[in-house]
Amino acid sequence: MLSVAVVVAAAVLWLGLLFGTALYAERRPGVLAGHWRHVYALSLAVYCTSWTFFGTVTQAARYDWPLPPTFVGTLLLYALGAGLMLQLVKLARASNATSIADLIATRLGKDAWLAAGVTLIAVLGLIPYVALQLKAVSMSFALLTDSQAGADQPPWRDSSLYVALVMGLFAMLFGTRRASAAEHNRGLVLAMAFESLFKLVAMLALGAFVWFGLESLPAATVPATPLEPVGGFAPLVLLGALAMFILPHQFHVAVVECRDDRDVRTARWQFPLYLTLIALPALPLARAGTALLGDSVPSDMYALALPFSQGNSGIALFAFLGGLSAATGMVVVSTLTLSLMIGNHWFAPGLLRSAWSGDKGGDRRGDLLLLRRVGILVIMLLAWAYSRLNSGGEALADIGAVSFSALATLVPALGFAVWRPQ
């Protein structure tokens, strides 16, 4: 096992490097200007959260399929429905929308109550997904350091709480330094592209470890038959296709942060290639984990437990940092997006009317920024509470499916907003 100090130091160094990347891009607007379409395509991989590192291994173990069903849906969307993504980009630009709530409400009568309702659904739907990230990071940290985590610990000793607070702080540093939500956040996009590249390398390193490091295992350790098939594959394919525009953080990166229609055309082949590469190790990890570890370790943790079982703590730490990077990217963008939606559609109308203040004028940007920061903190604490209430044996893949299903209720409204706004 690794010491707590080593794991924490490695995590802090990586997160500091990620934040430094964002600052570098903000202070040098011309950086990578000629290659921004590739940065945009990489940033879409914020879709690959800690679920990709841990939950997709469970899906692979269940279905014995080389690609997770959610990835299959996303690949089909980009192969057959890239025009929809392009149309969303054009509509968001024309309506100056900064979120999915903005787009739906603006296209359907500029209804403030509709925007507030969409925001509520987005908050309720994303809290389980944020909780998934906290659970994945705390489980992997506990496995690396041989410590305990979860609801069996007092709240002040639960590592998930501190993970939530640190991630909330990073979200505030990334996205609440300016009040305007209409400007493109170059630093955020480049940081997400950088962390996407890092987690791809980490996942491929895990794959190389399984493909080459375990090749001398006796053939008898490989299961003779695949696991018994389970249901739910087709719904997960559908949810994977819908996720690219119903997940608020994915909508923000793919639609709001898109600067040029040509970027979507580049992403149409680069992003599916990325998904295919990062998914390649999932099935080998699932098979090797089932053969060597069985039920002694949750299948969600095969990516870390396998290297440890072979005495390779370096690969295990690398995988932990990849999962931490994936979780941080999702949490930063999702909490930033939700805080913008909450501030714009729940509190900003009251601020503009000064409903609870005697001040009839003045600059309210400071109040908006404060509300966003408080919103981020509240979202992280709610996600932490959810992770404690659901700390039993529920697999990470199942928590992600719950979140996707909740957010899928926005599909009819978005469909009307795109095709029948009248």
DSSP 360-397: -SS--HHHHHHHHHHHHHHHHHHHHHHHHHT-SS--HH
| Tokens linked to 66 | 């080389």
- Higher model confidence: residue 325 or residue 400? 325
- Per-residue model confidence (pLDDT) at position 175: 66
Does the pLDDT value for residue 356 go beyond 60? no
CA distance 258 to 179: 20
Of the candidates 217, 178, 207, the one whose C-alpha atom is nearest the C-alpha of residue 56 is 207
- Per-residue model confidence (pLDDT) at position 369: 80
- Per-residue model confidence (pLDDT) at position 351: 54
Q: Which residues contact 133 (CB under 8 A, 6 or more apart)?
A: 49, 50, 167, 327, 328, 330, 331, 383
Q: Which residue has the tokens 């940081």?
A: 191
107 to each of 11, 23, 58, 201, how far by Cα in Å?
A: 43, 35, 40, 41
Does the pLDDT value for residue 277 go beyond 90? yes
User: What is the number of other CB atoms lying within 10 angstroms of the CB of residue 44?
Assistant: 28
Percent of the chain whose pLDDT exceeds 70: 86
- Per-residue model confidence (pLDDT) at position 315: 92
CA distance 226 to 224: 7
55 to each of 62, 210, 308, 396, how far by Cα in Å?
A: 11, 18, 19, 5
133-159: pLDDT as tens digits: 988 888 888 888 877 665 567 777 788
CA distance 164 to 331: 9
Does the pLDDT value for residue 180 go beyond 80? no
- Higher model confidence: residue 255 or residue 233? 255
- Per-residue model confidence (pLDDT) at position 100: 93
Asked if 344 and 106 count as a contact pair (C-beta separation under 8 A), the reply is no
Average pLDDT of the chain is 84
- Higher model confidence: residue 120 or residue 226? 120
Helix 302-309 vs helix 282-292: angle between axes, to the nearest 10 degrees? Answer: 60
Distance, first Cα to last Cα, the chain = 61
CA distance 297 to 418: 46
420 to each of 109, 132, 374, how far by Cα in Å?
A: 11, 35, 36
If you average pLDDT over residues 375-392, what whole number do you get?
Answer: 86
- Per-residue model confidence (pLDDT) at position 205: 93
CA distance 5 to 17: 18
- Per-residue model confidence (pLDDT) at position 81: 83
User: What is the number of other CB atoms lying within 10 angstroms of the CB of residue 359?
Assistant: 9
Indicate the pTM of the whole model.
0.87
Helix 186-208 vs helix 261-279: angle between axes, to the nearest 10 degrees? Answer: 20
Q: DSSP for 331-358?
A: HHHHHHHHHHHHIIIIIHHHHHHTTT-S
If you average pLDDT over residues 81-110, what whole number do you get?
Answer: 90
Phi and psi at residue 103, in whole multiples of 5°? -65, -50
Is the alpha carbon torsion for 144, 327, 122, 272 positive or negative?
Answer: negative
If you average pLDDT over residues 120-131, what whole number do you get?
Answer: 92
- Per-residue model confidence (pLDDT) at position 280: 92
- Per-residue model confidence (pLDDT) at position 228: 46
- Per-residue model confidence (pLDDT) at position 364: 63
If you average pLDDT over residues 31-43, what whole number do you get?
Answer: 87
| Tokens linked to 316 | 């295990």
Phi and psi at residue 230, in whole multiples of 5°? -125, 165
Residue type, 103: L
